[in-house]
Amino acid sequence: MLPQCRWNETQANGTEARWLEYNCLNRTTCHSGGTLTIDDNRSERLIPFGVIAGDVTYRGRRAVSLVERDESIPGRARGASVALLNDVSFRRGTIEIDVAGLPRAGADSSLRGFVGMAFHVSDDAAAFRAFYLRPTNGRAQDQLRRNHATQYIAMPGYPWQRLRREQPGVYESYPDLVAGEWTPMRIEVGDSTAMLFLTDLTSRR
């Protein structure tokens, strides 16, 4: 069952990530009844599926880098490229995370630098819900491509291809994204809703 989704890029401002060519994660906060703040940014907190996790300093900030394993690329749609945060239980509430994504050097021009947040993930990472960004779409010359800069999916039953085909424009939208720059994400998860808020984007205009 798909939740209702709402997009908003103007509100104020762990870790599980989705479909990554290159991805840095920083400052994760999960709220579910109480508050859990994960700010040590250590890759040892993660259980990787199809990605290589490492501790880095990116744009002056301590972060976790996730680079997709080459062999996981054909299985991307099966949810292989995910890193799960260990020892955290989350059902509903608010997730806040800063992300930065861009394609690897020499990558095919069709790659988008996918980066995002998955939640309600099964132990084998085969089933999950996620919001993710396509950073290189954010300032593309083609307006249709810009309109596909953000995406909601619910795997395995509702990948982006099915959602775009059956409900075009409903589960993806346009924010102003710059590949490689930090983007704060806020996700509010309810029993039957999931809402994505992207913040601090007005300063890029």
CA atoms 82, 83, 88, 94: torsion sign? negative
Is residue 74 pLDDT above 50, yes or no? no
CA separation for the pair 97, 184 (Å, rounded): 6
Give the β-pairing of 193-198 and 4-8: parallel
Does residue 52 or residue 111 have the better pLDDT?
52
* pLDDT confidence band for 130 (50 / 70 / 90): very high
* Side chain identity, residue 38: I
Integer CA distances (angstroms), 85 to 96, 113, 121, 148, in order: 14, 21, 10, 27
- Mean pLDDT across the stretch 18-24? 38
Is residue 27 pLDDT above 90, yes or no? no
Percent of the chain exceeding pLDDT 70 equals: 72
Q: Give pLDDT, residue 154.
A: 93
Stated pTM of the model: 0.77
pLDDT tens-digit series, residues 149-173:
999 999 999 999 999 999 999 999 9
- Mean pLDDT across the stretch 109-123? 85
**Among 5-9, 75-79, 105-109, the least confident range:** 5-9
* Side chain identity, residue 144: L
The full set of domain ranges for the chain reads: 4-204
CB 7 within 8 A of CB 194: no
